[in-house]
Structure 1
Amino acid sequence: MDAPLPECQIVWNDTGLSDWEEVFARAPRANLLQSPGYARAICPPLGQRPRHGRILIDGSLAGVFQIQEAQILRRAIHAVILDRGPVWLDGYGTPDQVGAFFRAFDRTFPRRIGRKRRLLPEAPNTPEMRAALDATRLKRRPGSTGYQTVWVDLRPDLETLRATLKSRWRGALRKAEAAELTTEWSWKGKSLLQVLTGYEQDKAERGYPGPTVGTVTDLCRTLLGHRKVLVGTASQGDRLVAAALFLCHGSGSTYQVGWTTAAGRTLSASHLLLWQAMGELKDAGHLDLDLGGVNDADAKGVKSFKEGLGGETVELVGQYE
């Protein structure tokens, strides 16, 4: 006899966020797109508003999620976005529970004329998870491919983390450590303008996808006063040769921006910054590092670089509506 499906209840935090943020702060791998700071930065320019919900599975608190909404004519025209959610507490997030959540979500925001739903579940792309989602009323977006990222667990000590690095990556790190590079780290925004200017130039020259410098600036402006923006630079003499920017959220952190010059690539300066950042983030109490999107189609070098840190490559199930 099959086990009964779990029951899911959504409880909205429409009057305050303190309880919600406490749950988010203790959830493993809580990602940037589900953080309140992200919504505060992203929603106003897009005419959206964030809403925050808690998830009860069989009556017990199991996780939280954040959506972005836009509406006109009293919701006659309505858009709802769930990016990389929900965020589950430890021990939750099984396929049955994910399916139960999205059935409850569908009852709350049923498909209808005038409503657009864009959902990117934070759920691994496994046969069991796909089957659980296929059993709901969600529809997979045509042509959707699974989003990939690399997570690094920052809880081990630095000696263990260094031993986890792949051999070629560790060799590049030793090269950078032997070079005459000066690195500097700041939680107060020092060199931030220079880093963002370099990012804008690098992105334009190399043509890779990623958030606009305006979006990253809005995120930094929102998070900077809360010790959630970490800026790192590497210089050779008086020349800046590489930079990295990390955004923090709950117990997690995200590698948001990184760039290097030709001289920096020769010296493996980005390897040095990523390695030092892991120590800085550990010291600040962050437990996980999300290295950001990777793919096999047009950025194999970036994927190889990020996987060299010895983290776990995770592929999500893709977009639904």
Structure 2
Amino acid sequence: MSKHWSISVDQTPRARWDAALNAVPAPYQQDWSYGEALVRTGAQVTRIALNDPSGNICGLAQFILRPFAMIARFALCTYGPVWVRPMTEPEKQVALRTLRRELKLRWPRLVAITVDEPMEMPGFKRVMTGDATVRIELTKSEDELRAGLDGKWRNRLVAAEKSELKFTSSGHKPGQYQWLLDEELKQRAKKKYHGLPPSLVERWQEDKQRAKGADKRGGLRIYRADLDKEPAAAMMFLAHGAMATYHIGWSSDEGRKAGAHNLILWNAMLRLKEEGYSVLDLGGVNTASGAGIARFKLGAGGSLIQRPGVFV
């Protein structure tokens, strides 16, 4: 069966790629602008279309290529492929094996795939356990979204709505959100965690603004909760295709006490829903080291998605 499947390497135009991801929610790691931002850091990007036996595109996979162990090539597809039409699990398994086999890289090489859904991976070896994320379906009505909030989470939201906090949004120019990136760097240094470099976020935003493809609406979304016209808390989201992804957040002590992040996230959900985004990805959760963050994300009414891991 697999001999009838094939791949096309770097032949899919950006307009078609963007249009596909506008129709099917996909992680930002498969977004065209993410690849372009990484190219500006010196990485090599390869974009592959998976073709079924009829010759129709059934999936898209963006690989980041880097040198490995000085002489080898490492190709990583993070949270892909993106399936652009309904596929059975056996079909996906055949397509993935075809992808690994047909990807032409000089030897020695290492091709790794982290699929974005729970599934069996026969013929592959898992080299790392999977992570988990929380996603909210924005296609639900506002009443359904509100009803889906955890009771304590909703109570915090109600209290924030009755407080002096004012929900607002920030502009997309670097000078209008640089302060939030600076606060994030302070948090990373204090709490010793890592994330996307701010420079990569800026390059991603620049590419979104320059893009003339189907994802014209994509780009950063920054929402704030102010007290006395000063930011008490803020959240930054990456809007891409049919999905938006929570990226970073900050809160002052006053904002934390007032439930500012509950207010921001709830209103962000409604804004993104109104813009036409169908899924909001709240990002990774770790119930061991980040139990409080996990409770907050799950309390917003999302579903836990457990990914199976990294496979070679």
Q: Fold-level match, TM-score > 0.5?
A: yes
Task: Give, in whole Å, the separation in 2 of the partners of 1:87 and 1:155.
Answer: 20
Task: Give, in whole Å, the separation in 2 of the partners of 1:179 and 1:42.
Answer: 42
CA contact under 8 A between 2:166 and 2:226: conserved in structure 1? Answer: yes
Provide, for residues 191-240 of structure 1, a one-character-per-residue CA deviation record: whole Å limited to 9, x for no partner: 31121112112222233332233333333333356542111111111432
Distance 1:112 1:18, change over 3 A: closer
Distance 1:152 1:296, change over 3 A: same
**1:291-306 residue pairs with structure 2 within 5 A?**
291-306=282-297
Task: Give, in whole Å, the separation in 1 of the partners of 2:245 and 2:18.
Answer: 18
Is 1:199 the counterpart of 2:220? The answer is no
Secondary structure of 1:248 counterpart: strand
CA contact under 8 A between 1:191 and 1:231: conserved in structure 2? Answer: no
Is 1:26 the counterpart of 2:23? The answer is yes
- Residue 48 of structure 1, CA deviation: 1.8
300-309 or 216-225: bigger deviation: 216-225
Provide, for residues 273-297 of structure 1, a one-character-per-residue CA deviation record: whole Å limited to 9, x for no partner: 1011111111211111111111122
Q: Which of 80, 95, 98 pairs up with 2:92?
A: 98
Distance 1:294 1:86, change over 3 A: same
CA contact under 8 A between 1:51 and 1:68: conserved in structure 2? Answer: yes
Task: Give, in whole Å, the separation in 1 of the partners of 2:9 and 2:176.
Answer: 39
Give the TM-score normalised by the residue count of structure 2.
0.88
Give 1:230's aligned residue.
221
Give 1:218's aligned residue.
203
250-259 or 233-242: bigger deviation: 233-242
- Residue 8 of structure 1, CA deviation: 2.9
Is 1:274 the counterpart of 2:265? The answer is yes
Q: Which of 302, 306, 311 pairs up with 1:315?
A: 306
Task: Give, in whole Å, the separation in 2 of the partners of 1:6 and 1:248.
Answer: 37
Task: Give, in whole Å, the separation in 1 of the partners of 2:10 and 2:188.
Answer: 38
CA contact under 8 A between 2:72 and 2:109: conserved in structure 1? Answer: yes
Task: Give, in whole Å, the separation in 2 of the partners of 1:187 and 1:139.
Answer: 45
Task: Give, in whole Å, the separation in 2 of the partners of 1:166 and 1:58.
Answer: 46
Distance 1:89 1:113, change over 3 A: closer
Is 1:69 the counterpart of 2:65? The answer is yes
Give 1:254's aligned residue.
245
Percentage of identical aligned residues: 27
Provide, for residues 87-121 of structure 1, a one-character-per-residue CA deviation record: whole Å limited to 9, x for no partner: 113522x3212211221122123798521223212
Distance 1:266 1:103, change over 3 A: same
Equivalent residue pairs, number: 303
Task: Give, in whole Å, the separation in 2 of the partners of 1:254 and 1:87.
Answer: 16
Task: Give, in whole Å, the separation in 2 of the partners of 1:53 and 1:117.
Answer: 13
Give the TM-score normalised by the residue count of structure 1.
0.86
For 2:137, give the aligned amino acid. D
Is 1:169 the counterpart of 2:138? The answer is no
Secondary structure of 1:230 counterpart: strand
Task: Give, in whole Å, the separation in 1 of the partners of 2:197 and 2:60.
Answer: 28
Distance 1:202 1:89, change over 3 A: same
Task: Give, in whole Å, the separation in 2 of the partners of 1:199 and 1:71.
Answer: 30
Task: Give, in whole Å, the separation in 1 of the partners of 2:233 and 2:276.
Answer: 25
The runs of 5 or more residues in structure 1 that have no matched partner are: none
